[in-house]
């Protein structure tokens, strides 16, 4: 019944993402507004919006109709079969179309999440680890595949690759500073501690070719730490590459092969250089985006959307969709 479980999760996510009644009301209001507007540019702008919402409404209703057919087929067959899989593939294609109307093309990438902390000791290391686990659990909850590319809690940083359609778009709102306030489990006096972690989400697939002059690179090798057998600790398979013009440093330790680690490190370096290009070299100050308060009371508050919950464990255990969908609605659907 694994496929049935997956499709149920998918439909639940779509219903939570698409507030269909709100979209219909919003669309009807635009239709009324366009009748009294004389400005041609504004009319064209609103017509495009109406077209977008009409297509979202149509696709949403079609997905639910196919889902009802799938439920009937499960009722009769009690198991997965060829016909059910055909309907499930239809839903997958419609979801892809739905995402095309929600996001722009530049958001249709897999994503790399970098989590790091600049200050603090054990508390900061632990906070980076908690956030890493939160995003991994989110990926698991939503049936996305992930890979931990580089984990180094001693240096308070980790990199996770998450694969799926429009993952970069879904996780885009996670960029920023995540603040944790709690009684430190590492402080003997049980003092309240504030820990900050920076989350950066990068697009994994880039269409623009980034050229790197190897004369601008400095390579260092080091012994990898962690799982992977005896070879990992005895041989210098870890790669650290520094891009001299930008001072960007990338480490990669995932595989036992030094060559593979080197190639992957260069790929990540290209992603980072690409991000510099799309930002047009403007350094933007990272904003606080979310507070996670454990003491003196439990509260998680998302500063971008205004979302609040007292269910601390729910969010930390990767149930982020309510926050993510609120951001998508604010940033993409109703902008």
Terminal CA-CA length for the chain: 39
pLDDT of 282 reads 41
- Strand boundaries in the chain, DSSP class E: 111-116, 145-152, 157-163, 176-183, 192-203, 217-222, 238-243, 248-252, 288-293, 299-302, 308-309
Query: Is 301 strand, coil or helix?
Result: strand
Rg (the chain; Cα; Å): 23
Task: Write out residues in the chain with pLDDT < 50, as ranges.
Answer: 1-2, 226-232, 280-284
Query: Is 182 strand, coil or helix?
Result: strand
Query: How far from 216 is each of 192, 211, 242, 250, 297, CA to CA, in Å?
Result: 45, 11, 8, 14, 51
Could you please state the CATH topology (level 3) that the domain comprising 107-203+286-333 is classified under: Alpha-Beta Plaits (3.30.70)
Angle at 179 between CA 310 and CA 176, to 5 degrees: 115
pLDDT of 224 reads 66
pLDDT of 281 reads 38
pLDDT of 283 reads 39
Intrachain domains 107-203+286-333 and 214-278 with the same fold: no
Distance CA 321, CA 319 (A): 6
pLDDT of 78 reads 67
- Helix H segments across the chain? 2-17, 20-35, 40-77, 82-102, 122-141, 167-171, 230-234, 258-278, 312-316, 321-328
Query: Is 180 strand, coil or helix?
Result: strand
Domain spans of the chain, in order of start = 2-102, 107-203+286-333, 214-278
Beta carbons of 13 and 319 less than 8 angstroms apart: no
Beta carbons of 253 and 150 less than 8 angstroms apart: yes
Could you please state the CATH topology (level 3) that the domain comprising 214-278 is classified under: Double Stranded RNA Binding Domain (3.30.160)
Query: Is 201 strand, coil or helix?
Result: strand
Peptide bond into 91 cis (omega under 30): no
Q: List phi, psi (to 5°) of 107.
A: -100, 0
Q: Which helix (H) or strand (E) holds 265?
A: helix 258-278
pLDDT of 286 reads 65
């Amino acid at each position: 019944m694994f496929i049935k479980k997956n499709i149920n999760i998918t439909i639940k996510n779509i219903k939570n993402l698409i507030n269909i009644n709100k979209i219909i009301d919003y669309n009807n209001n635009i239709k009324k507004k366009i009748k009294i507007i004389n400005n041609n540019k504004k009319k064209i702008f609103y017509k495009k919006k109406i077209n977008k919402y009409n297509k979202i409404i149509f696709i949403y209703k079609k997905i639910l109709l196919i889902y009802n057919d799938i439920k009937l087929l499960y009722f009769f067959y009690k198991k997965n079969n060829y016909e059910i899989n055909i309907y499930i593939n239809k839903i997958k294609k419609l979801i892809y179309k739905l995402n095309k109307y929600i996001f722009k093309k530049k958001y249709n990438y897999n994503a790399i999440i970098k989590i790091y902390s600049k200050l603090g000791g054990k508390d900061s290391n632990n906070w980076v680890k908690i956030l890493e686990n939160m995003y991994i659990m989110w990926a698991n909850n939503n049936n996305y595949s992930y890979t931990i590319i580089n984990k180094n809690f001693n240096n308070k940083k980790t990199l996770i690759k998450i694969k799926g359609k429009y993952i970069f778009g879904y996780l885009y709102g996670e960029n920023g500073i995540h603040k944790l306030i709690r009684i430190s489990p590492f402080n003997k006096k049980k003092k309240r501690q504030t820990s900050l972690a920076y989350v950066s989400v990068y697009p994994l697939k880039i269409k623009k070719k980034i050229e790197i002059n190897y004369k601008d690179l400095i390579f260092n090798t080091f012994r990898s730490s962690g799982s992977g057998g005896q070879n990992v600790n005895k041989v210098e398979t870890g790669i650290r590459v520094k891009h001299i013009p930008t001072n960007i440093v990338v480490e990669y330790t995932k595989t036992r092969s030094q060559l593979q680690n080197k190639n992957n490190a260069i790929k990540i370096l290209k992603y980072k250089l690409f991000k510099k290009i799309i930002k047009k070299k403007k350094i933007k100050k990272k904003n606080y985006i979310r507070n996670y308060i454990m003491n003196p009371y439990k509260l998680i508050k998302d500063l971008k959307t205004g979302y609040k919950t007292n269910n601390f464990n729910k969010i930390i255990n990767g149930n982020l969709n309510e926050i993510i969908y609120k951001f998508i609605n604010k940033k993409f659907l109703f902008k």
